[in-house]
Amino acid sequence: MEAVRNLQNNINAKTCVKIIAGIDNYDVEKVLKVVRAADRGGADAVDVAAREDIIKLAKENTDLAVFVSSTEPKDLLMAKENGADVLEIGNFDAYYKKGIRVTTEEVLKITQKTIELIGNDIMLCVTVPGHIEIAEQIKLAEKLEAMGVDLIQTEGASTVEAKSTGARGLIEKAVVSVSNTVELCKNVDIPVMTASGITSTTAPMAFAAGASAVGVGSSVNKLSSEIEMLATIRSITEAVKVSKNSVENIHS
């Protein structure tokens, strides 16, 4: 419960950083590197695939909140039974790589079935697909809020092909998810997590857009060594701290 309490405090403070190992990442050695790096790098949560041994691995190697992601309600029930702190319907980027597009109706159906299975005594996060029109995203987010979902996650990098290199390219990849964050934050009261294309360069943009949290995946989980992962995570968490302090100084 302490992990969830800390997570909620950081969400409320709008400084929460979640590191995503990957919804389809079943490489035990790679997941362990991500979990350890997140734990040492100042993150607030890790997000792992819905497999019993992967969940156990995460729980044994960090005191951070452990998100478990899947699009299968029965797998999310299994995750709850094996100690997951937060259940997440998403992340969908792995499906996009296979040419699969998740629809609004499918998200609502999965969410409803998941709630029926798991009850209301565990935190539930749902990803709003970044490929659908923003008006439809807003309607979906409002319906999810009405259903009792605790947190929604934006995405969008999979819909963008960066044309530039360096910082400009990073911003081009994140701009859709960040702009989706702006619109969703205007229309729902539950916290919004910005994910997809988030780096140390773009994380401050997400919080400036109204996000309560960021989800960081590929910029960490594609790295080969734990040292590289740790350095990247620290750069993100430090960027978030600097951004937070700057905002507080402006308003003080």
Dist. CA 200–CA 137, nearest whole Å: 26
| pLDDT tens digit sequence for 171-212 | 666 788 899 999 999 999 999 999 988 998 889 999 999 999
**Whats the size of the chain, residue-wise?**
252
Contact assessment for residue 97 and residue 134, using Cβ atoms and an 8 Å cutoff: no
pLDDT band of residue 155 (cuts 50, 70, 90) is: confident
pLDDT band of residue 108 (cuts 50, 70, 90) is: very high
pLDDT of residue 100: 82
In a domain, 246, yes or no: no
In a domain, 131, yes or no: yes
The dihedral through the CA atoms of 9, 6, 154, 228 has a sign that is: positive
pLDDT of residue 77: 98
In a domain, 251, yes or no: no
pLDDT of residue 165: 55
Domain containing residue 139: 2-239
Dist. CA 114–CA 160, nearest whole Å: 30
| pLDDT tens digit sequence for 16-73 | 999 999 999 999 999 999 999 999 999 999 999 999 999 999 999 999 999 999 999 9
In a domain, 56, yes or no: yes
| pLDDT tens digit sequence for 137-153 | 999 999 999 999 999 99
In a domain, 249, yes or no: no
CATH of the domain at 230: 3.20.20.390
Contacts of 110 (CB under 8 A, 6+ apart): 71, 72, 73, 89
pLDDT of residue 99: 82
Considering the entire predicted model, what is its pTM?
Answer: 0.92
What is the chain's percent helix, strand, coil content, to nearest 5?
A: 55, 15, 30
pLDDT of residue 169: 59
In a domain, 116, yes or no: yes
| pLDDT tens digit sequence for 210-248 | 999 999 998 999 999 999 999 999 999 999 988 776 555
State yes or no: pLDDT of 84 exceeds 90. yes
Domain total in the chain: 1
pLDDT of residue 168: 65
In a domain, 252, yes or no: no
